[in-house]
Copies of this chain bind each other. A is one copy, B any other.
Amino acid sequence: MPETKALTIGALAARTGLSVSAIRFYEEKGLVEPFRSSGGQRRFLRSDIRRLSFVLIAQQLGLTIGEIERQLADLPHGRTPTQADWTRISKAMRKVIDARIAELERTRDRLDGCIGCGCLSLKKCQLYNPEDRIGLKGPGPRLVLED
Interface residues of A in 48-103 (CB under 8 A from B): 49-50, 53-54, 56-57, 59-62, 81-87, 90-91, 93-94, 97-98, 100-101
**Given A86-B117, A104-B104, 7 further pairs, Cβ under 8 A:** A49-B121, A56-B133, A60-B132, A60-B144, A62-B145, A91-B115, A97-B104
Task: Name which of A1-9, A30-38, A123-131 contacts chain B.
Answer: A123-131
Whether, in the assembled complex, A120 has its beta carbon less than 8 Å from a beta carbon of chain B, the answer is yes
Interfacial chain B residues near A143, Cβ < 8 Å: 59-60, 62
Copies in the complex: 2
Interface SS of A by simple majority:
helix
Contact A53 B121 (CB under 8 A): yes
Whether, in the assembled complex, A116 has its beta carbon less than 8 Å from a beta carbon of chain B, the answer is yes
Contact A111 B132 (CB under 8 A): no
Name A108's closest neighbour in chain B (CB-CB): B97
Q: Which residues of A contact B (CB under 8 A)?
A: 15-19, 22, 49-50, 53-54, 56-57, 59-62, 81-87, 90-91, 93-94, 97-98, 100-101, 104-105, 107-108, 111-112, 114-122, 125, 127-128, 130, 132-133, 140-141, 143-146
A104-B119 Cα distance, complex, nearest whole Å = 29
A53-B120 Cα distance, complex, nearest whole Å = 7
Contact sample, A vs B, 28 pairs, CB 8 Å cutoff: A17-B122, A17-B130, A19-B140, A22-B140, A50-B121, A53-B122, A54-B120, A56-B128, A56-B141, A57-B128, A59-B141, A59-B143, A60-B107, A62-B145, A83-B116, A84-B118, A86-B117, A86-B118, A86-B119, A87-B116, A91-B115, A94-B111, A94-B112, A94-B115, A97-B111, A101-B104, A101-B108, A145-B145
